[in-house]
Structure 1
Amino acid sequence: MNKILSFSLLVLISFYSYSQKNKTIEKVDIELQKCLDDTQNNMLNCTQVYYTKMDEQLNVTYKKIKNKLSKPEQDKLKNQQLAWLKKRDQYFIKVKTDTAKQLDGENSSQDYKMICAHENALFVRDRIIELEKVYLKN
């Protein structure tokens, strides 16, 4: 129960620590919190769905931006995204390692998987916000 409360607090803090205008992200954040608040739901499933939706939104955002750019700008964006993907892969490995350490070596429990999925989703979420800030200045 303590882990559940701690995780819910972490989720709430992460929502309010970002200032962004993306209504899709806000909607997905709210959906996650509602899912986590419903005690009938599996928290691991909630966070895995959250990650999937963030990953999908990153793809939508990337394509939207790419379509507005000239060919040289598209190439630059592609190279930046490829570099980010390498950084993402390294970060995901670090999340797994750090989370296992926090859980005393446990790396197969639902708590472990839930924390990793949530941290990974936030990393992807940050990339969406970063891309929008740089390329979709409205």
Structure 2
Amino acid sequence: MKAFILCLLLGICLNVFAQTSKSDVETLEKRYQECLAEGKSQYNCALQYYTQMDSLLTTVYRQLYDNLDTTRRQTLQISQQQWEEKKDTYFKDIDVRVEKKRPLTLSGLDDDMIVTDNKAAYIRTRVIELIDKQS
């Protein structure tokens, strides 16, 4: 039991002191490109990349938030809320455009892969912005 508590505390401390960096983003991108290069299931590669990038966004936001004073936290919250609204609008626009073109394209997951890739790229941009604010 003591070992479990010690491991838990060590994990929390490492998480607090570990800052996400651009190299973490580059690592995700490298894995994504390697997955795509395999040529097996590009949609699943894009979906995994999107999920990981979204998770990284949450981590970076939390790290930045935890290291700010109250005033800057409020500013960050407002900024993030505005970004979320823009993201929702952007994602809806992409989905609508793809659905309009879907009858003109070959059936399959290519359209879904491209949409997911574009959504991940949008999130990636925000992750980089937040990482830059940590510096």
Query: What TM bracket, shorter-length normalisation?
Result: 0.7 to 0.9
- The amino acid that maps onto 1:28 is L
Residues 11-50 of structure 1: matches in 2 within 5 Å? 22-39=22-39, 41-50=40-49
Which residue does the alignment assign to 1:114? Answer: 113
Using the TM superposition, give the Cα deviation of residue 113 of structure 1 relative to its aligned residue in structure 2, in angstroms. Answer: 1.0
Which residue does the alignment assign to 1:77? Answer: 76
Structure number with greater Rg is 2
**Greater percentage in helix:** 2
Gap regions ≥5 residues in structure 2: 1-20
Gap regions ≥5 residues in structure 1: 1-20
Q: Distance in 2 between matches of 1:73 and 1:59?
A: 17
Secondary structure (helix, strand or coil) at the match of 1:69 reads: coil
Report the identity percentage. Answer: 28
Which residue does the alignment assign to 2:123? Answer: 124
Using the TM superposition, give the Cα deviation of residue 126 of structure 1 relative to its aligned residue in structure 2, in angstroms. Answer: 0.2
Please give the TM-score of this superposition, normalised by the length of structure 1: 0.76
Equivalent pairs counted in the alignment come to 115
Q: Deviations over 1:61-95 (max 9, x none)?
A: 00110011001111110111011111000000111
Please give the TM-score of this superposition, normalised by the length of structure 2: 0.77
Which residue does the alignment assign to 1:93? Answer: 92
Using the TM superposition, give the Cα deviation of residue 136 of structure 1 relative to its aligned residue in structure 2, in angstroms. Answer: 1.7
